[in-house]
Structure 1
Amino acid sequence: MRKDKSLIQAPRWWLLPGTALILLDLLCLASALWLPLPHQVELLAHGLILLCSLALLVMLGSSWRQLQADQLRLREGLAVLDEGLALFDPEDRLILANPAFGRLDDERQVRWRRGTPFETILRELMAAEPVREAKGREEQWLRERLLRHHQPGEPWVMQLANQRWIRVLERRCADGSLVYLRSDVSELILSQQARAQADEQARLAQTRLHEAIEAMPAGFELWDAEDRLVMCNQRLREQYPEMADLLRPGARFADLVEQSLAAGRIPAARGQEAQWLQERLRQRGHSAQPLLQLYGERWSHLHECFTPSGYLVGVRLDVTELIHTQQALQDSEARLQAVISTAGVAIITADSTGLIRSANPAAERLFGLAETELLAHDLRQLVDELDRPRLVEQLHQLGEAGGAQSLALELCARHRSGQALTLHLSLAKVLGGGTATLVCVLTDLTERKRFELELRHANEQLLRLSTTDALTELANRRLLMQRLDEEWRRALRSGEPLSLLLVDVDYFKLYNDHYGHQAGDSCLRRVADVLRLSVNRSTDLVARYGGEEFVLLLAATDLQGAQEVAERCQQQLKAAALEHALSPLGPHVTLSIGLACGRPLPEASAGQWLASADLALYQAKAQGRNRTVSMPMH
């Protein structure tokens, strides 16, 4: 596009009157020179007129220079504007435009010739700065934009494809011309979006704060600098149901306490309510330790502290059950010795070195020793020699650890009669009176261990029976499906190939009909042995699928490896030379094998491997049997 030197053109028609006047005066002066002397006065007049005209021409030239200077300043003023400004005539043709109007990016700018139609400019702007909302509907958007241009209204904002936002303002003048103002408001829009996002994050943070306060297992209260309630959670209202309706923002703490005192809900203040209230207000927020308060029949621990801004935070934890438990523990201390003496488990106490200090009757029965005999031993002497180093190490760690500690371990010991015992030892260090006491609880696990061993053997036998085919002692169909699912998922994670061979004994019904079912069972066992010997890895699985069908599941095996296994199966069976007089394929038993191999895909399933192998087996039979047909998985 050709660039004009200036789109601002100054009108020059006002020079014509001055020029015409000068020419007329020169004509009059020339004619006066031919006149006789009586006409000298007229000549003088024409000279004066000429001088005036020359003066007028000088003035007009000065005005022209001033106008040129004004135009230059106007162009410079428009050039420094960041906003794009353009003026169109009533026919929608460009009159003038500043450089910012045609600026497309940071490297180049376009300036249009005077008279360029608005639609042409709009198309070029769209080509350089695509509008986000026009993507895929450019022509329709262009028509809508032209309609808005011909009927200008309020300013509007459009988003460009390069994440820029442009504010457009169009106004019609009285003579029908149009002023078009384009300004980049990306920073404003982005700042507004950032502010909206920050406001939303602040709202979410406040919501989460309120939710967290409401979810607290303790009562929460917040008071302002004048000790007026700002907020509290529902748990606090539940702790003080009689005051729930009064716990509203703005309520004064002193007023709430006075109402509780008047209702007699604070037993500690009865008879000295005024003094109690004064002391309570004095200590409020200044106690380093939580306050234990009884309100009605409920006990609570109150934590109060001031925030840096002068607000007071209170957290009330209901400890009624804890207080009742402590009271119950205190009541039970008197009965503790009776419980120990009648306990069914052995309880022994010892000093920090392990020397036994006391033993209950259950301990005497466990070891077959009287209490006086046990007092002459230490804990190490009660266990077998092989387990003594473990006990010594644990006792050492327990002695080195600070504070009350405990441990548990399983040890072997012996009864006085020599009977082997399996014991569970729970050892705790209790601090009291400046000394450490070891409390040892011993549970006899001998019978349970024997039962567990028998149960484990039974479970192993049951598991073997539930996952093993009774005839061939191969994995049964249940174990096959479980392992297939496991290997398929493992291969799906690792991306390794998975192979599956579905094996069928050719013409096995004729074999049964000719040799009998007992011979058929013996044949299946021989085939199972052949298949078992054809795999080399412990991770490979050979299973009986049903009837005369078998499955070889080969994890992390590609097509070539699976074909090698299938070839070994055929060769091993050929070497076994199992007689089959009625087989159309020859005098010996043969196999048809369907092979499925590939890498699992998330949209597939483990069952598809069996289905593909079955289809490959069907093709092997259709092609004459005694062969292997591969079916790749995709």
Structure 2
Amino acid sequence: MNLDHHKENKGNILLVDDIPENLQLLSDSLIKLGYIVRSVISGRMALKTVKAKRPDIILLDIMMPEMDGYQVCRTLKADEVLRTIPVIFISALDDVFDKVTAFESGGIDYITKPFQMEEVVARIENQLTIQRQQRLLEEENIKRRETEEILYQSKAMLASVLNSSLDGIAAMQAVRNPVTGDIEDFRCLVVNSLIARVFGSSCEDTISKLLLKKVLAPLEPELFNHFVNVVETGEPLKRDFYHPLGNYCWYHFVAVKLSDGFAITIRDITGRKQIELALQDANQKLEQLVNIDGLTQVANRRCFDGRLQIEWKRLAREQQPLSLILCDVDKFKSYNDYYGHLGGDDCLIKIAQILQQIVHRPADLVARYGGEEFLVLLPNTDLPGVTKVAQSIQQAIHAQAIPHAQSDMKDIVTLSLGITSVIPTSDIKPDTLIASADKALYNAKQNGRDRYCTYLLDT
């Protein structure tokens, strides 16, 4: 395979020389180096070829019949379209007069025959580099003009909107570090009266004096970095923020990239926010009503069922134990009959408070299961751990010494406790944990009450 055909195209070169041997030598050498080369043997052919397809550089001999290199170059420079093509003269003429004539004709360089190929390539590359730099400069100028035009149009549009908008509107320009190019602050370009009031100044003072970082410092300093991100990434920013000002305190803003800065629109949403906050508070209270037992103020059965499902899935993934205690007040019916329902309610409230004092980890849950039964859910707790909790509950209930005149075991309120513990799996339903604790509770009652028993799932 000829690897020369796979080299990067370094540039398009037109060779003009009436001696075929010279053309062949230059053409072969330049093609091997990665250039695209076309060759012609006369000035008239050169002019036709240039018009058909414009080269990046022309290597032009001087001494040619009919039309010499000087004439060819002058003709090119007289053409508005072709005059920017660099012409390098390559000739055996070594007289100063010939070289001066070449440059006066419009040539940009001169190579004397016989030449070294390294010199030819170096001069060609020099001109190609200059061309690339010129193109980049032109592109940058175009971009700059486009940016200036966009900024001008944006300012004009923003100014017209300012006169009719009921929202606060401003345009901010980035202040960049001259060395690193990093955004150090933002200054105000355009602002209307509503935003000026937020900043506590007039429109004129806001535009002439405002630097955003200082304004944000007492409000929400991290907002500055979010505005920088809007400019650097083009991603819009939407946010509610609190800033007391007269009768208004809640605002919503939208910031979007605008040239090397951003435009921001601010709207007073105090009324809407007050409604949202009131609704949020009502929802929280409703959530409590839905999930909290009205009498004992611990979680209710509905809340327990939801938490059990969540913890079962989590601990199944983590392969960690989940334990449960089912508590039942011994001889509660006789307690209710003797002390009345209000007395019974007070007893349940005290028991719930004792359970809450002992079970206090954030993930643990005390719930009223129904009637005189309570559940204690203990995630990440193994059998020895849940046993210690059950012992603590019994000790605390005994220490509370709630009188129970109708008990045939002790003269104070006691609890029977059913304990179970398991590492959850997807093969076992969470409800089996409750069933297991219920069996343990049954055993505790059968064995004389006022005690705890354990029943483990067969996994």
Instruction: Quote how far apart the aligned CAs of 1:564 are.
Output: 2.2
The answer as to 2:308 corresponding to 1:480 is no
What residue is the counterpart of 2:442 in the other structure? 618
Query: Which of these residues, 436, 454, 458, is aligned with residue 630 of structure 1?
Result: 454
When residues 385 and 411 of structure 1 are mapped into structure 2, their CA distance, relative to the original with a 3 A threshold, is: farther
For residue 343 of structure 1, give the secondary structure of its aligned residue in structure 2.
coil
Provide the rounded CA distance (Å) in 2 between the counterparts of 1:443 and 1:469.
42
SS in structure 2 of the partner of residue 480 of structure 1: helix
Q: Secondary structure at the match of 1:529?
A: helix
Residues 359 and 374 in structure 1, CA contact (< 8 A), matched pair in contact too = yes
Q: In the alignment, which of 149, 170, 189 is matched to residue 357 of structure 1?
A: 189
On the 8 A contact 2:170/2:191 being kept in 1, the answer is yes
Q: Using a 3 Å threshold, how does the CA distance of structure 1 residues 605 and 376 change in structure 2: closer, same or farther?
A: same
- Which of 353, 369, 380 does residue 212 from structure 2 map onto? 380
Question: Does residue 529 in structure 1 map to residue 353 in structure 2?
Answer: yes
Structure 1 residue 465: Cα displacement = 2.7
* Aligned equivalent of 1:540: 364
The Cα offsets for residues 286-333 of structure 1, whole Å up to 9 and x where unpaired, read as xxxxxxxxxxxxxxxxxxxxxxxxxxxxxxxxxxxxxxxxxxxxxxx9
2:325 aligned counterpart, secondary structure: strand
Identity of aligned residues (%): 36
Q: Would you say 1:605 and 2:429 are equivalent positions?
A: yes
The alpha-carbon deviation at position 612 of structure 1 amounts to 1.8
For residue 571 of structure 1, what is the amino acid of its counterpart? Answer: Q
CA deviation string 1:545-564 (max 9, x = no partner): 11100111121222222222
SS of 1:632's equivalent? coil
Matching of residue 492 in structure 1 with residue 316 in structure 2: yes
Q: CA separation in 2, counterparts of 1:568 and 1:529?
A: 14
Check conservation: 2:216, 2:224, Cα contact below 8 A. Answer: no
Once the two structures are superposed, the pairs formed by residues 179-190 of structure 1 within 5 Å of their partners are: none
Residue 506 of structure 1: CA displacement? 1.1
CA contact (8 A) 2:229 2:235 kept: no
Distance across 2 between alignment mates of 1:583 and 1:616: 22
1 CA distance for matches of 2:248 and 2:389?
52
Provide the residue aligned with 1:347 in structure 2. 169
C-alpha separation between the residues in 2 aligned to 1:632 and 1:386? 59
Q: 2:387 & 2:261 partners in 1: Cα distance?
A: 71
Inter-CA distance 427–598: structure 2 relative to 1 (3 Å threshold): closer
SS at 1:582 equivalent = coil
Change (3 A) 1:627 1:362: same
Spell out, residue by residue over 1:504-543, the C-alpha distance to the aligned partner (whole angstroms, 9 max, x if none).
Answer: 1111111111111111111111222222233353322111
Call closer, same or farther: CA 1:449–1:632 in 2, change over 3 Å: same
SS of match in other structure, 2:258? strand
Gap change, CA 1:334 and 1:464, over 3 Å in 2: same
User: How far off is 1:566 after superposition?
Assistant: 1.8
Partner of residue 468 from structure 1, selected from 292, 298, 302:
292
- The letter for the 1-side match of 2:371 is G
Tell me the number of residue pairs that the alignment of Structure 1 and Structure 2 aligns: 298
Structure 2 residue 331 is matched with structure 1 residue 507: yes
Counterpart position of 1:108:
none
State the alpha-carbon separation in 1 of the partners of residues 382 and 244 from structure 2: 58
- Measure how far apart 1:411 and its partner are: 5.3
User: Is the contact between residue 594 and residue 614 of structure 1 (CA under 8 Å) also seen in structure 2?
Assistant: yes
CA contact (8 A) 1:498 1:554 kept: yes
- Counterpart CA distance in 2 for 1:608 and 1:558 is 17
Cα distance 1:406–1:571, how it changes in 2: closer, same or farther (>3 A)? Answer: closer
Are the structure 2 counterparts of residues 437 and 623 from structure 1 closer, same or farther at C-alpha, using a change threshold of 3 Å?
A: closer
Q: Which amino acid aligns with 1:427?
A: A
The amino acid that maps onto 1:426 is V
The 3 A distance-change label for structure 1 pair 382 and 360 is: farther
- Give unmatched runs, 5+ long, in structure 1: 1-332
2: CA distance between counterparts of 1:371 and 1:547? 68
SS in 2 for 1:583: coil
Q: Distance in 2 between matches of 1:376 and 1:359?
A: 11
Does the CA contact (< 8 Å) of 1:425 and 1:442 recur in 2? yes
String of CA shifts for 1:218-277, please: whole Å, max 9, x gaps: xxxxxxxxxxxxxxxxxxxxxxxxxxxxxxxxxxxxxxxxxxxxxxxxxxxxxxxxxxxx
Letter of the 2:349 partner, please give it. Answer: R
Letter in 1 for 2:212: R
> Which amino acid in the other structure matches residue 502 of structure 1?
L
Alpha-carbon distance between aligned partners in 2 of 1:451 and 1:505, rounded to the nearest angstrom: 45
Does the aligned pair in 2 maintain the 1:541–1:553 contact within 8 Å?
Answer: yes
Q: Which residue of 2 aligns with 1:7?
A: none
For residues 352-373 of structure 1, give each alpha carbon's deviation from its aligned partner in whole angstroms, at most 9, with x where no partner exists. 4444333346546766865445
Specify the SS of the correspondent of 2:263. Answer: strand
Q: Secondary structure at the match of 1:486?
A: helix
Partners of 1:626 and 1:340 in 2: how far apart? 78
Query: Which residue identity lines up with residue 189 of structure 2 in the other structure?
Result: R
Q: Tell me the CA shift for residue 448 of structure 1.
A: 4.2
Using the alignment, how far apart are the partners of 2:234 and 2:285 within structure 1? 46
Normalised TM-score (structure 2)? 0.56
State the shift of 1:483 in Å.
1.3
Root-mean-square deviation (Å): 3.7
Deviation sequence 1:29-56 (CA, Å, 0-9, x none): xxxxxxxxxxxxxxxxxxxxxxxxxxxx
Task: Give distance in 1, aligned partners of 2:394 and 2:158.
Answer: 77
Distance 1:546 1:613 in 2: 15
Whole-angstrom distance in 1 between the partners of 2:238 and 2:417: 57
Give the whole-Å Cα distance in 1 for the aligned partners of 2:365 and 2:351. Answer: 15
CA distance in 1, matches of 2:224, 2:311: 47
Among 268, 279, 284, which residue is 1:444 paired with?
268
Contact 2:187 2:210 in 1 (8 A): yes
Aligned 8 A contact 2:216 2:223 in 1: no
C-alpha change, 1:486 and 1:336, in structure 2 (3 Å) is same
- Partner in structure 2 of residue 151 of structure 1: none
Q: Which 5+ residue runs of structure 2 have no aligned equivalent?
A: 1-154, 176-185
Structure with bigger RCO (C-alpha 8 Å, 6+ apart): 2
Contact 1:406 1:427 in 2 (8 A): yes
1:198-597 equivalent positions in 2, closer than 5 A: 339-353=161-175, 354-360=186-192, 363=195, 371-378=203-210, 380=212, 383=215, 385-387=217-219, 389-390=221-222, 393=225, 401=232, 407=237, 413=243, 415=245, 421-431=249-259, 436=260, 438-535=262-359, 537-597=361-421
